[in-house]
Structure 1
Amino acid sequence: MLNIAQHQLKITTGGYEVIASGIVHLTESELKFYIGGLTIKYRFNSDNEGERFEAEIINNELIIKLFNFSNPLGQGRIDPVELGIINGRKLFATFWVDTPDLMSNHRQFSYTFLLAEQ
């Protein structure tokens, strides 16, 4: 049997190196990541204009506003979205949001952070 603890794991796909990936169960409308000196905040919002996301920088934080992400079957971005640069390499992210109970604001947020391969 292979003992993975003895081996360094590196995951690559489509010209990217996966540096972090996971799932966070949310009961709040905001989620922050701190990665390579960058602060990335995902914020859930609702309005009448359909599903979309917008990004802006406020007080040195990248704020990604996710509008109308309320589908119990899930929705998000599987194609990598460029967020910035870490140590001279472009940082990208993908995310997927499942919302089984919008009334209680419960969500499952899946994420992957990737760096462009050198």
Structure 2
Amino acid sequence: MSGREFCLRCDSILPLEITGTAVICRLCQLAHSYTDLLNKEIHSTVIFNTTDVTEEVEELEEGNTGPMTDRKCPGCGNEGMSYTTRQLRGADEGQTVFYLCPKCKYQDNENS
């Protein structure tokens, strides 16, 4: 027998040893005929990323700037930019801070 098969009752992996003309499941003790397992094909499908993984930058509505910080805008020199944070990298790394100038809509980001 070249590969392992699965028990028809409990879906556990069948052992490789054959007792007489049967393979006996170690979990539920169901006997499977050795000839029934020959040339049996097993098919499986794995689906990754079932949702749309592209992220769109959220536009802030006029007058709704979110939390503000004392950061100076590099685009127009305005004192104060709104910010939002997201965890884009690994959990053991810092978050990314996105800044938006409410006056000229200049966007900047910083990895903390």
TM-score over 0.5 for the pair: no
Normalised by the length of structure 1, the TM-score is 0.21
Higher RCO structure, 1 or 2 (CA under 8 Å, sep 6+)? 1
Normalised by the length of structure 2, the TM-score is 0.22
The structure whose Rg is larger is: 2
Q: Which protein is richer in strand relative to its size? A: 1
